[in-house]
Amino acid sequence: MGNKYVSNFVSLPIVYWRGLRRRIRNLYCKLALKSMGKGCSISDRVALFCPENISLGDKVILNDGVILQSCEDTAVEICDNVVLSYDAMILTGGIDPTGRVHGHLSFPVVIKDRVWIGARAIVLPGVTIGEDAVVAAGSVVTKDVPPNTLVAGVPAQFVKKLEANMNSERKQLPDRMEHEGEK
């Protein structure tokens, strides 16, 4: 006769395990990151380099494959209601392309409120992305993005000015945990 506790333990629904994994990951991030706001959702396969220099605001969503790289004590600041889509990269360091400086250069990256960064977009060191901006998928952001702006391309260039009320639907991102029945 088998152990009834083990059989019940093994037959727990998959949803429970996913929720437990997410809660453990979020607990780790709360402890490891410089700061982490309420209602953040951090998916599997998110890579955090030097998490002690990374700050997340409220309701930040980091999808699968996102890389947040903070090198040489350089800050990554992500404000409230920001979405980083699949495989997006935020980099604070790299080599000097001119070859004048040996070693790595590093500059902070700031992403303001209600920004959406598309899939496989790359934000390079020293960039500030303004409020309500959108970075199109696959773009490489090499310089600051003004508020309420859509940028796209390699390197990312201005596409159009977004109306202030255009992003009102994204101003309050839903708390993912509430949608999945957890509180």
User: Taking Cα atoms as reference points, which of 110, 121, 105 lies closest to residue 71?
Assistant: 105
- State whether the Cα torsion 40-45-49-52 is positive or negative: positive
- Tell me the whole-structure pTM to 2 decimals: 0.79
Taking CA 110 as the corner, what is the angle to CA 149 and CA 176, rounded to the nearest 5 degrees? Answer: 80
Q: What's the average model confidence in pLDDT over 8-15?
A: 51
Q: What's the average model confidence in pLDDT over 65-70?
A: 94
Q: What is the pLDDT of residues 124-134, one digit of tens each?
A: 999 999 999 99
What single DSSP character describes residue 9? H
Q: What is the pLDDT of residues 143-168, one digit of tens each?
A: 999 999 999 999 999 999 998 755 44
Q: Assess whether pLDDT exceeds 70 at residue 81.
A: yes
